[in-house]
Amino acid sequence: MGGEFDFLEWIRSRQKPDPLIVIGSGDDLAAYRWPAGELMLAGVDQVVDGVHFDSKIHPPRAIGRKAMNRNLSDCAAMACLPAAALATVALPAGCGLEYARELYLGMEEAANLFACPIVGGDTSSWPRKLVMTVTILGRDGGIPPITRGGARAGERIFVTGPLGGSLLGRHMEFEPRVRMGRELAEKYRPTAMIDLSDGLSRDLRHICRLSGVGAVIEAGSVPIHADAISLSARDARTPLEHALHDGEDYELLFTCAAEVPGAIRIGVTTTDREIVIRDGNQTRALEPMAWEHRL
Amino acid sequence: MGGEFDFLEWIRSRQKPDPLIVIGSGDDLAAYRWPAGELMLAGVDQVVDGVHFDSKIHPPRAIGRKAMNRNLSDCAAMACLPAAALATVALPAGCGLEYARELYLGMEEAANLFACPIVGGDTSSWPRKLVMTVTILGRDGGIPPITRGGARAGERIFVTGPLGGSLLGRHMEFEPRVRMGRELAEKYRPTAMIDLSDGLSRDLRHICRLSGVGAVIEAGSVPIHADAISLSARDARTPLEHALHDGEDYELLFTCAAEVPGAIRIGVTTTDREIVIRDGNQTRALEPMAWEHRL
């Protein structure tokens, strides 16, 4: 069983030359020749055992993929191009070098699909459970980033796919909508965009609050994933409730003045600050019920 | 007791306008107008409870400071300017909003000393112990970064301060050598540089391996911190052993062709790949004995 330095040596051996990377993994910091005139976008996201995955069920390769994909999904939400990633892992003591490698290979697998090199990181071990973080750096690639704060009243609200029940497995194996985000931004210029990680009811709230608008969601237009129906059969919640509140769908939620072919229109933005859902003649407040980490 | 979103709201309220920050905390990613022609340096470092700090002893403000300072110390080692930081925290469930705020204020306090804004992050809570990460972004600011790999045989080896025994408290409260790193790079152009986090014996090995040189360290020249002497009185190790192996000194270790006034010369680089320590007429291999995380 190897130590931290064997693992770091192995990581270094996997580095490929890249004209933009002046100093790669293995130094105090990596150095990157930032393309002139391009914005640098940056975010970080963590996954912790028992909250975002269950190490008793999920193989390390899948955990690594998820850690990376969550960050790539943030790139999708801003319509930017992934440029480079950094990762940390706090390993359960005694998990072994092979386990650590599998985590890394999962991250690498996900990042490679978007030509995003892993340029640095940090490894610790401790007598507790697995925690991983990925920092993602993105560049605008000629398309101005789309924030959460640009929606105006009277615009359409869209999602890019069916929602709910991701807990049945999709939350571990999703495809970040990086290309879709770029395409939407280029063709239709959404006014605000976010990836659905906290659940539609909560993520819509982020857009509305930052944009200073309200929203009316049409209950009958919310696309319901088959998983939401399966999960509904097991608990007291309806498929629609699952679609509205579950989270970890990793589809894009966006607002746009124009119609967007291929996207699913679920409502409109309004001048008042209320977020409501309309079901036939009934209109009620759409309160978030998604997961919130308690401090 | 507040939830994650109260905490995020509070963080957002602390953001100051910055001409380089196009999109600040609170969106999927932050966006930064990267100064044209400047390299972007990036690294990430984590601290975990029971390994890098002890939450039973160390107040959250000090833990936050350390998390940030370790990353600022990496900037020092590359002679770059801190530009922006991102942070994650996996909070012990029920620790409370005030504890989370103190962690953040500690990070902010340390970063403010170098005008380095915290532009993003991620918060989770879980029924385990505290894990924090900080991602640091730096820019070269007109001084090419100094790597670990540029030392040549026949150069002098220096450290910037006395070593050993940091466990007695200094490992929590140190001043990252950012300004010193810049000044050294500007005036003396070290050929290789690293910050002493793993311990002199191990960090010197990083420089030697990446530079393809060996080293002779003069035992009598290694500066010994008073803490190393105090610690020596408690255990079976000599003050010199503490100075050579303890780690977390966060002084700079560097090689330079020229003499460097103010820095402490501890040896020379050699053509063979051996790393040895000379004590009078005795010469022996200097093997790393510092902390290595076991996987």
| pLDDT tens-digit map of B79-117 | 999 999 999 999 999 999 999 999 999 999 999 999 999
Question: What distance in Å separates the CA atoms of residue A120 and residue A58, rounded to the nearest whole number?
Answer: 25
- Parallel/antiparallel/unpaired status of strands B39-48 and B131-139: antiparallel
In contact, B154 and B268? CB cutoff 8 Å: yes
Partner-chain contact B40 A50, CB within 8 Å: no
Beta bridge partners of B195: B252
| Judgement on whether residues A9 and A71 belong to the same structural domain of the protein | yes
Q: Judge whether B294 lies within some domain.
A: no
| Tokens (6 digits) for B228 | 């190393």
Q: For residues A127 and A29, state if they share a domain.
A: yes
> A78–B31: do the CB atoms touch at under 8 Å?
yes
Please indicate, yes or no, whether residues A122 and A176 belong to a single structural domain of this protein: no
CA-CA-CA-CA torsion for A216, A220, A222, A227, nearest 10 degrees? 150
How confident is the model over B195-227, as pLDDT tens digits?
999 999 999 999 999 999 999 999 999 999 999
CATH number at residue B227: 3.90.650.10
pLDDT at B292: 54
Q: Residue A172 domain-assigned?
A: yes
pLDDT at res. A117:
96
Cβ–Cβ < 8 Å for A247, A199 = yes
A104 and A166 fall within a common domain: no
State the pLDDT at residue B293: 53
What pLDDT, on the 0 to 100 scale, is given for residue B6?
84
CA angle at residue A166 from A203 to A99, to 5 degrees?
Answer: 110
Residues B167, B132 within the same domain: no
CA distance B178 to B195: 10
Cβ–Cβ of A40/B137 closer than 8 Å?
yes
Q: Which of B15, B97, B133, B252 to probe by mutation at the A interface, max A CB count within 10 Å? A: B133
Nearest to B120 among A23, A43, A50 (CB): A43
Indicate whether B229 and B179 sit together in one domain. Answer: yes
Q: Is residue A295 part of a domain?
A: no
Q: Is residue B238 located within the same domain as residue B198?
A: yes
Structure tokens at B294: 């076991």
Distance (Å, whole) CA B214 – CA B157: 11
Which positions in chain B touch A133 (Cβ < 8 Å)? Answer: 44, 46, 88, 122, 133
ipTM: 0.94
| Model pLDDT, residue A1 | 39
Mean pLDDT over the full length of chain B? 95
- pTM of the predicted structure, to 2 decimals: 0.95
- In this structure, are strands B30-33 and B21-23 parallel, antiparallel, or unpaired? antiparallel
- Residue B39 main-chain phi, psi, to 5 deg: -65, 145
Minimal Cα–Cα distance from A141 to chain B, Å? 13
Rounded Cα gap, residues A58 and A169, in angstroms: 10
Asked if residue B33 belongs to a domain, the reply is yes
Residues A52 and A128 both lie in one domain: yes
Which residues of chain A carry a pLDDT beneath 70?
Answer: 1-2, 290-295
Task: State whether B57 and B171 are in the same domain.
Answer: no
Q: What is the mean pLDDT of residues B32-46?
A: 96
* B270-282 confidence digits (pLDDT tens): 999 899 999 999 9
Q: Structural domain tally of chain A?
A: 2
Is A46 within 8 Å of B88 when comparing Cβ atoms?
Answer: yes
At residue B1 the predicted structure's pLDDT band, cuts being 50, 70 and 90, is very low
pLDDT at residue B215, rounded to an integer: 98
Same domain, A56 and A87: yes
pLDDT attached to residue A86: 97
Of B139, B170, B189, which one is at a domain's C-terminal end? B139
pLDDT above 70 covers what percent of chain B?
97
CATH number at residue A47: 3.30.1330.10
Q: For residue A216, is it within any domain?
A: yes
Q: Which residue has the higher pLDDT, B53 or A12?
A: B53
* Whether B115 and B75 share a structural domain: yes
- A234 located within any domain: yes
Q: Which of A26, A124, A136 sits opposite B210 (nearest CB)?
A: A26
Q: Say whether both B121 and B217 belong to one domain.
A: no
d(CA A123, nearest CA chain B) in Å = 8
pLDDT category of residue B294 using cuts at 50, 70 and 90: low
Q: Is residue B150 part of a domain?
A: no
Percent of chain B clearing pLDDT 90 (strictly above): 90
Full domain range(s) for residue B126 = 4-139
Residues A189, A110, B8: CA angle, nearest 5 degrees: 60
pLDDT of amino acid A293:
53
pLDDT at residue B8, as a whole number: 85
Contact B134, B44 (CB under 8 A): yes
* Nearest alpha carbon to residue B55 among B165, B166, B135, B131: B131
Domain contains A144: no
Average pLDDT over residues B47-57: 96
